[in-house]
Amino acid sequence: MNQKKKTFLHKPFYPGGNEAMDAFIKEQLQYPEAALKARKEGSIKVKLTMDHKGKILDAEAVNSLGFGLDEEAVRVVKLLHFKVAKNHRVKVTFHKELNIHFHLPPQKPKQPEQAQSTQIQYTYTEAKSPLTSQKKSYSYQIPMGD
C-alpha cells in the first residue's frame, strides 16, 4: 500500500528552482574591485534566516575570502525572495545555507599599444663641384613602425 508522505512543515523554495536562483545571483553579483586586482576567487558559504513569507531577515558569511567578496555575497543573498507554502497557520522562521561562487571574468588579451609613426630622414648634400655649379643632394625618408 502506497501512502503519501505527509509533512507538517513545508520548506521554502525559490520560484523557478535552483537554475533560476543561480541565474539571479549571477546577474546581481558585482565583483569587487579589490578582489579583481588581487585576482581572488572562490566560494563563500552564507547562512541565512528567512521569515514565514520567504523574506530574508539576516545573512552572514560563514567563511571569509576577504577583498569585499564576503560583503558582496551577503548583499546578493539579501536580495533573494523565496516562496513558502502555507504551514498550518504556523509562522516559522527558516534557516538555510547557500554557496556563492566567485569566478574571475576571463581576461581580455591586451592589445599592443599603437606604434607611433616614426620616420628617419636622411639628407646628403655634396659640396659644389669645381666643374659644375650645381649642388648634388639626396634625400631619403624611411617610415618605421607600420
CATH number at residue 66: 3.30.2420.10
Is residue 80 in a domain?
yes
Is residue 23 in a domain?
yes
Is residue 90 in a domain?
yes
Q: What is the pLDDT of residue 22?
A: 94
Does residue 132 have a pLDDT over 70?
no
Is residue 78 in a domain?
yes
Q: How confident is the model at residue 57 (pLDDT cuts 50, 70, 90)?
A: very high
Is residue 7 in a domain?
no
Cell representation of residue 7: 509533512
What's the total number of domains in the chain?
1
Q: What is the pLDDT of residue 142?
A: 66
Is residue 131 in a domain?
no
Domain hosting residue 81, numbered range:
17-102
Residue environment code for 49-71, b if the CB has 16+ CB neighbours within 10 A, otherwise e: ebeeebebeebebeeebebbbbe
Q: What is the pLDDT of residue 60?
A: 96
Is residue 134 in a domain?
no
Is residue 8 in a domain?
no
